[in-house]
Amino acid sequence: MKFTRNERKVLGYLVENAKITDSEIAEKLHITPQAIGKIRKKLETSGTIKGYHAVVDLEKTGINVIAIGMFKFNIDAFVKSDDIEQSLDSDIAKRIQNPLIINFYRLPEGDITHIVVFGFKNINEVDSYFHTLQARRGRISELKNLYLFSVKSMKKSSPNDLILKLLKDD
């Protein structure tokens, strides 16, 4: 999507601080708060802005371990209808409602079909979860690789710098 100069600026301010008011942005851009409101509404309506959320420190909430699982889903286990792809997508859509899943990626081809990022309180929770997962779901998905990280090792978890760079380069 091509953005006007003001749309880029408004989006940039919102990426930097989602709590910033229309009046504060208007003051910085020397235009009316009503104009900012219209720009914000356009960005929301177009789907550029999908919502506003708090950035939470995972460790302070009790999440101490990040697990990245690389899976190969067995398509044959999903043959429930004539449209295998739709059946697979429907089943996966249900599974990603799991509150332990932070991010879920589908790969286009290869020995690994999905990458899933999980959050856990501790290593015992990780061990219990994956033991149960393999025992119950082993026929549907094969865990190819599992990487564990301490939340303390996470140095960056936001695309905001990339978005700001793209807005400035445009």
Helix axes 33-45, 22-29, angle to 10 degrees: 110
Residues 123, 164, single domain; the answer is no
Q: 38 with 89, same domain?
A: no
| 120 and 68 in a common domain | yes
CB 65, CB 125: distance < 8 Å: yes
Length of the chain: 170
* Predicted confidence (pLDDT) per residue in 45-90, tens digit: 999 999 998 889 999 999 999 999 999 987 766 555 566 666 667 7
101 burial via Cβ count (<10 Å: 0-12, 13-18, 19+): middle
Query: Do 116 and 81 lie in a common domain?
Result: yes
**Roughly how many angstroms between the first and final C-alpha of the chain, as a whole number?**
11
Write down the pTM of the prediction: 0.78
